[in-house]
């Protein structure tokens, strides 16, 4: 799934070496690393392989990380964390700057590690900069760090605006009659499957399309109706082709611990594609999208169905698209990356000044 980390790291890669260290796979007779280049983002991905009996062995992970750093002659680097749990095997590193890009409240997710909050507290102590993936998350975390900044969901507008011009349908979607109401993303505990089932029952003449992998929930629990269609995972490159064939987009998120702080990247993507959008009352969707009437907000199945019907009737309103385009005008992953890069530069300069003072003018 091509999301925030891929957008940002692919841009840093233009100026620096970037290595993404993934979680280990326990399938090896002896420890080793596999390094490959991610085809979409271009960054190098490091996959540690460990013996099954080493599961949970922090020292084994640390040794593989050190071996990799030595093999690539990495001496002056930035440590960028997406999961606080990675601190368990990397806390000994001495990066020039440590960054925590806090995308979500991971402790609220299904099967979350009970040690997540402990390691996040440690990471807040170690980090020089903290970014948050949304404003609601920023409000929840802002008192935990002195240098924390909100960078909500952004967008590659030109990529998704292509959906406005696409006429030919992908084969697996072309056979589905309209009106088509679509969703793409990870299908997990954040999706309100009861709401989806009720919607499909209330509006049997509408067809609901879901694109994405099913994760952490039993696929057998997903609602099955003639007007609900699961098309599986598609590449980032393919998404505009599917979006182009939808009459509108939906975000039927559940209201639970896992969604309390989400800032869905798909919100501006759906809008850039020119589609009307209906969402449940997710905080970072209500503010600003709902308040600006760019996205319709509804929580119950009857309300959601009514909002869909109203949105379909007004989907060709040129004023709506003008309003969307004006709002999205200054939002881009390039701007997000540049803002982050400036803050990193300031942190590096600050650290150099401190080092210079300690070493009586010696530049390190």
Residue pLDDT, tens place only, 54-99? 888 899 999 999 999 999 999 999 999 999 999 999 999 999 999 9
| Rounded Cα distance, 317 and 319, in Å | 5
Q: Which pairing describes strands 44-50 and 32-37: parallel, antiparallel, or unpaired?
A: antiparallel
**Is the peptide bond between 288 and the residue preceding it cis, with omega within 30 degrees of 0?**
yes
Burial (0-12, 13-18, 19+ Cβ within 10 Å), 18? buried
| Three-class DSSP labels, 302-360 | HHHHHHHHHHHHCCCCHHHHHHHHHHHCCCCHHHHHHHHHHHHHHHHHHHHHHHHHHCC
For residues 226 and 111, which has the higher predicted lDDT (pLDDT)?
Answer: 226
Q: What is the mean pLDDT of the chain?
A: 93
Residue pLDDT, tens place only, 291-311? 999 999 999 999 999 999 999
H runs (alpha helix) in the chain: 4-12, 58-71, 87-90, 116-126, 135-141, 157-161, 171-174, 193-202, 239-243, 266-272, 283-285, 301-313, 318-328, 333-358
Q: Does residue 363 register a pLDDT over 50?
A: no
Question: Model pTM greater than 0.85?
Answer: yes
Residue pLDDT, tens place only, 210-256? 999 999 999 999 999 999 999 999 999 999 999 999 999 999 999 99
Compute CA 135 distance to the chain's CA centroid, rounded to the nearest angstrom. Answer: 15
pLDDT of residue 264: 93
Q: Does residue 316 register a pLDDT over 90?
A: no
pLDDT of residue 41: 84
Whether 91 and 343 have beta carbons less than 8 Å apart is answered as: no
* pLDDT band at 361; cut points 50, 70, 90: very low
Instruction: Give helix 4-12 / helix 333-358 axis angle, nearest 10°.
Output: 60
Whether 8 and 337 have beta carbons less than 8 Å apart is answered as: yes
pLDDT of residue 345: 95
**Contacting residues for 182 by C-beta, under 8 A, at least 6 apart:** 208, 209, 210, 211, 242, 243, 246, 248, 249, 250, 275
| Three-class DSSP labels, 124-172 | HHHCCEEEECCHHHHHHHHHHCCCEEECCCCCCHHHHHHHHCCCCCCHH
* pLDDT band at 362; cut points 50, 70, 90: very low
* pLDDT band at 42; cut points 50, 70, 90: confident
Residue pLDDT, tens place only, 139-198? 999 999 999 999 998 999 999 999 999 989 999 999 999 999 999 999 999 999 999 999
pLDDT of residue 114: 87
- Of 98, 197, 96, nearest in space to 147 by CA: 98
The CA-atom distances, in angstroms, between 70 and each of 74, 196, 242, 294 are 6, 51, 44, 50
| Rounded Cα distance, 181 and 205, in Å | 11
Mean pLDDT of 128-138: 96
Whether 53 and 40 have beta carbons less than 8 Å apart is answered as: no
Q: Does residue 259 register a pLDDT over 50?
A: yes
* % of the chain beyond a pLDDT of 70: 97
Go through the chain and tell me how many residues it has.
364
**Is the peptide bond between 179 and the residue preceding it cis, with omega within 30 degrees of 0?**
yes
The string over 45-57, giving b where at least 16 C-beta atoms fall within 10 Å of a residue's C-beta and e elsewhere, is ebebbbeeebeeb
């Amino acid at each position: 799934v091509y999301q925030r980390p891929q957008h940002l790291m692919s841009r840093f890669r233009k100026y620096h070496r970037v290595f993404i260290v993934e979680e280990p796979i326990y399938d090896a007779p002896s420890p080793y690393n596999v390094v490959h280049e991610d085809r979409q983002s271009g960054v190098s991905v490091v996959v540690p392989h460990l013996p099954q009996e080493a599961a949970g062995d922090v020292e084994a992970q640390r040794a593989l990380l050190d071996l990799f750093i030595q093999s690539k002659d990495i001496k002056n680097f930035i440590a960028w964390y997406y999961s606080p749990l990675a601190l368990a095997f990397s806390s000994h590193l001495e990066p020039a700057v440590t960054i925590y890009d806090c995308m979500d409240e991971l402790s609220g997710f299904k099967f979350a590690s009970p040690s997540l909050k402990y390691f996040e507290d440690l990471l807040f102590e170690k980090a020089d900069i903290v970014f948050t993936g949304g404003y609601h998350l920023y409000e929840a975390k802002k008192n935990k760090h002195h240098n924390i900044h909100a960078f909500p969901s952004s967008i590659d507008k030109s990529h998704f605006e292509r959906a406005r011009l696409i006429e030919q349908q992908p084969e697996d979607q072309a056979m589905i009659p309209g009106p088509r109401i679509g969703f793409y993303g990870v299908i997990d505990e954040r999706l309100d499957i009861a709401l989806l089932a009720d919607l499909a029952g209330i509006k049997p003449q509408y067809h609901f399309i879901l694109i994405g992998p099913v994760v952490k929930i039993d696929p057998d629990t997903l609602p099955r109706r003639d007007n609900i269609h699961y098309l599986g995972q598609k590449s980032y490159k393919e998404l505009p082709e599917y979006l182009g064939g939808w009459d509108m987009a939906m975000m039927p998120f559940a209201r639970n611990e896992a969604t309390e702080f989400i800032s869905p990247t798909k919100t501006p993507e759906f809008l850039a594609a020119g589609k009307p959008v209906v969402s449940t009352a997710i905080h970072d969707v209500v503010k600003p999208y709902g308040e600006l009437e760019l996205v319709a907000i509804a929580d119950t199945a009857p309300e959601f169905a009514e909002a869909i019907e109203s949105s379909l009737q007004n989907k060709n309103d040129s004023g709506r698209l003008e309003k969307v385009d004006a709002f999205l005008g200054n939002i881009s992953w390039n701007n997000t990356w540049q803002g982050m890069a400036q803050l990193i530069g300031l942190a590096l300069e600050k650290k150099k000044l401190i080092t210079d003072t300690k070493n009586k003018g010696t530049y390190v």
